[in-house]
Amino acid sequence: MYGKLTSRRTYLHFALPSLIVLAIILFYPLGYAIYLSFFRYSLGEIPKFTGLGNYVRLFGEADFVDAVGKSAVFTGIVVGVQLVLGLIIALLLDSIARGRRLFTLLLFLPIVVTPSAAGLILKWMFVPDWGMVNYFLRLLNIPQPNWFDSPLPAFVAVVLSDVWQYTPFVIIVMFAGLQSIPEDLMEAAKIDGASGFRTLFGIILPILRPLILFVVVMRTMDAWRIFDKIFVITGGGPGTATETLTLYNYRVTFNLLRIGMGSAIGVWTLIFLLGIIGVYLYFLYRREQWG
């Protein structure tokens, strides 16, 4: 018993520096933000305690509700498109015999690019006069929109940018899951005369369900918190057409200097993401319990 206690203390000594750094850079700012969210506080003014007043006032602000709606629509579209495309391409990749390693290596390229750099590249691609996107649209005799002057084209541009960068992540996860499916199970399905769709919905998707749930949760959290890419491509414009919740939080906190309200928005976002994680753990635990 004494040896175990000594060993635990030794481990704690090694972990203590990391815990201190984590407390300084994570827990203290988080706690301070939660504290400020209970105050009506603009920079240069004396904070005034309002309790849950900031949280109540949020839902009375049209811009906040609009930003939440845009974030929900953006998240739903990009996660759905990335999941479907990722699964289709992973199935195609699993069906080829040669070139898998090369394709897998190439898939990592968009992921390793930082979102701000990817946003700058994609912004140039969508430039109306000399951008690559409009160039190919002209070759196909398709009308070329002025991507950043109208709400719908601007929103489509930021959706396409996120789909381009993060679909490879879904492909890689799904492909790894496909590699783990026992070959004898697939062979048995072929011998029984199961069609491709029956094999997909009867064998492949049930086996990949934990990975699909994992991908949906991870991409939902990332898409809901997107900031830098949209900030670089459209800046939230035209007007507020592409202003998601994080961009609205940036405007409230750093442009309008409403520190208390900005903290409340951040805490609200944290609660939402914790709810997403809770749903994921619930379904994962239920599957492990019931099989």
List, in sequence order, the alpha helices (H) in 140-179: 151-179
Neighbours of 2 (CB within 10 A): 6
Amino acid 1: pLDDT: 47
User: For residue range 221-267, what is the model confidence (pLDDT) as tens digits?
Assistant: 899 989 989 999 998 888 889 999 999 999 999 998 999 999 999 99
End-to-end alpha carbon distance in the chain: 38
Which residues in the chain show pLDDT less than 70?
A: 1-11, 13, 97, 193-194, 284-291
- DSSP helix/strand/coil, 177: helix
Neighbours of 138 (CB within 10 A): 11
Amino acid 156: pLDDT: 92
Predicted TM-score (pTM) of the model is 0.86
Neighbours of 173 (CB within 10 A): 20
**What are the residues facing 176 on neighbouring strands?**
none
Only one residue has tokens 């999941």, namely: 83
Q: Which domains does the chain have, with CATH numbers?
A: 58-290 (1.10.3720.10)
Amino acid 287: pLDDT: 59
